[in-house]
Chain A
Amino acid sequence: MLKIMKYTLSDLLRSRWGLLYLGFFLLLTLSLLWLSGDVSKVVISLMNVVLILCPLIAVMFGVMYFYNSREFTELLLAQPIRRSDIFWGQYLGLALSLSISLLLGVGLPFLLYGLFGSTEIWNFFVLITTGVFLSFIFSGLAFYIALRNDNRIRGFGLAILVWLFFAVIYDGIFLLSLILLRDYPLEYYSMVATMFNPIDLSRILILLKLDISALMGYTGAVFRKFLGTGLGTALAFTALLLWVVLPAWSIRRLALRKDF
């Protein structure tokens, strides 16, 4: 599995898309840092980009990579290698390459700016961690979608839909439900509902860390009020971990039963 991961990683890091993704983050972070000069503000600006862009790129890149490497996967399937190793290796390679692009693209400019001297290092760390989580979660979902659908058009359509659902539609429905149910106590409901959306979870995780109540929104406030920053963070973290494990486990289950 490690070998396959290594090859996927080197293949992707050298690809045009991988470099483009890295370049985008480099440029964005550099310009944000130079324009604003306030590390805390830059982290918040970057948070909005990371929360939307990481899932989108991971899910689209994921299905694209899966479909493009199908014949290569067949070549691997004919070798004396375990099936789950092949798919997990590819999945990990993909998620890692995205994470590395994010880490370098955001990390290098911060390093140049003198991050280690500032007090913002932990905020930066949380930003990167959630970005990495989102990359893993959405690459996993992408692989799951691509394994389920041999039809590329449908696979890409579903991938966009999944991203749109978690990034936009989910919040709309959630907000609507809060308004409709406003006569009832909604603390636990909203907390549980947030667990089902990895993007919301990441947002809360960052905001809890930054401790900016104005930006925290209802759910963030609930998280802090009921659980405190420490427990709230731990809970959000665990939920995110579950979000990583579930697709990865489903990939294995599907891969073992699929014909190639």
Chain B
Amino acid sequence: MKIHLTSVLVDDQAAALHFYTEVLGFLKKHDVPLGEQDRWLTVVSPEEPGGTELLLEPARHPAARTYRDALVEDGIPLAQFTVDDVAAEYERLSALGVRFTQKPLETGPVTTAVLDDTCGNLIQIASRPR
């Protein structure tokens, strides 16, 4: 068994594609129309184009809003991505207008920060453990 795909629920797929590619820097992998308004839309890391895909999934289920709002209120990230240097990513993304709900924080062997993906989720970035 392998983890080939994971997903985040997004308010708007077009806006999510922009944020996850143009701002975070992922690459679009699959973009297949599904029905009248939805797409099977995945992105991958440029460092690992054949690696795990992230599905930008429409958050249309009525319970999705309640669930995601509760997480965001408490500052809880829905997903975590690994970066080489959290402080450098914080500077780069802040300059692009990204809002952080947690600035870089050293917690034992890893440094983390939490950002708003503008699509209804908080995302944690974390350094690899030293």
- A associates with B: no
Partner-B contacts on A (CB < 8 A): none
Partner-A contacts on B (CB < 8 A): none
